[in-house]
Chains A and B, each alone.
Chain A
């Protein structure tokens, strides 16, 4: 039976208002609530559902990041993943960690653990790169089924329905393969309290990129991080004529 690898990223919680650091080199992360990237939750859920249907034998979750990344691994374990691998990358290395590095790490782990299927979220809600799945498939030279909204696993192949502009595309590909989960793939379960307690007994292995022989030297330099433009305040006009004049001034009507 297949062995599945899921990638999980620790990101700032989706409900938190993001604030930029005063020096414009990043966003404030200290004392801010973090949680698992929502798209990765969908990926984990899909893997767990496959296991419940007895289509896969073991699920391994991987997270690259500082020590706190183990929290999201625990959440994944509580959702039904069997074991976790924490690839420790912290400090300045983590700030410039890019999908290219993560994909190499995922590929190495996939080879070491004899993985048949990699499922990741299509993108993280912090950097919105949307590259990890594609790059991992390229590094391993495996087929890729990105933006999946439905996955059917056969013995040697996958039938995946993909979300594309203005419609759906159904493709077939061989296993091993890389899948990236879109929003409508499934509804992730909530990690219940008893399951979180049980997850504490499941193993998490800690390794470094150097152990895997992956070079994580920065490819980019962060020059500046800016807030999105603020919406300008509106004005209240006394009558229609003024409105028409204003609109003409703004070039909205001829």
Chain B
């Protein structure tokens, strides 16, 4: 069977590269909300997390530059961590921060509108 048809039918049983591709296929088309973090390598997870945070930083009240510098510092601080469990903990913490920032923005907008229109 050709690799491409393997990918479409999801019938890849052989280990190695094709399984890897199979996973990517899963990530891109079948899991729209969770970025497929479970199937990504830790390195990819960290990069995605960094990009997500950078994207969020564009709306930071005190300015993007400040946010970017602090974010960079926070990531650099842990650059020598090699223990996979510790890395996983840090990633989970990062995802928690993402949720917190989203909630912060939502609350800020809600409160501003409430003050402007409902008081």
Contact = CB atoms under 8 A, between A and B. Distances in A.
Interface residues of A, number: 14
Given A15-B112, A183-B113, A198-B32, A190 B52 contact: no
Contacts of A14: 109, 112-113
Given A15-B112, A183-B113, A183-B117, 16 more contacts: A14-B112, A14-B113, A15-B61, A15-B108, A38-B113, A125-B113, A125-B116, A183-B114, A187-B106, A188-B106, A190-B56, A190-B102, A190-B105, A190-B106, A196-B55, A198-B32
A14 B105 CA distance: 12
Interface string A168-210: 0000000000000001000110101111101000000000000
Interface residues of B, number: 19
A195 B33 CA distance: 8
Among A14, A125, A190, find the residue whose CB has the most chain B CB atoms closer than 10 A.
Answer: A190
For chain A, what secondary structure do more than half of its interface residues adopt (helix, strand, loop), or is it mixed? loop
A15 B108 CA distance: 9
B20 interface: no
B110 A187 contact: yes
Nearest to A183: B113
Given A15-B61, A183-B113, A183-B118, A194 B106 contact: no
B35 A194 contact: yes
B45 to A, nearest CB: 13
A15 B59 CA distance: 10
Interface of B: 32, 35, 51-52, 55-56, 61, 102, 105-106, 108-110, 112-114, 116-118
Nearest to A128: B117
Contact of A193 (B52, B61, B106): B52
Nearest to A189: B102
11 contacts: A14-B113, A38-B113, A125-B113, A125-B116, A183-B117, A183-B118, A188-B106, A190-B56, A190-B105, A192-B52, A198-B32
Nearest to A80: B32
A183 B52 contact: no
Nearest to A192: B52
Contacts of A38: 109, 113
A193 B57 CA distance: 12
A15 B105 CA distance: 11
Interface string A1-45: 000000000000011000000000000000000000010000000
Contacts of A192: 52, 55
Given A15-B61, A183-B117, A187-B106, A193 B112 contact: no
Given A183-B117, A198-B32, A193 B55 contact: yes
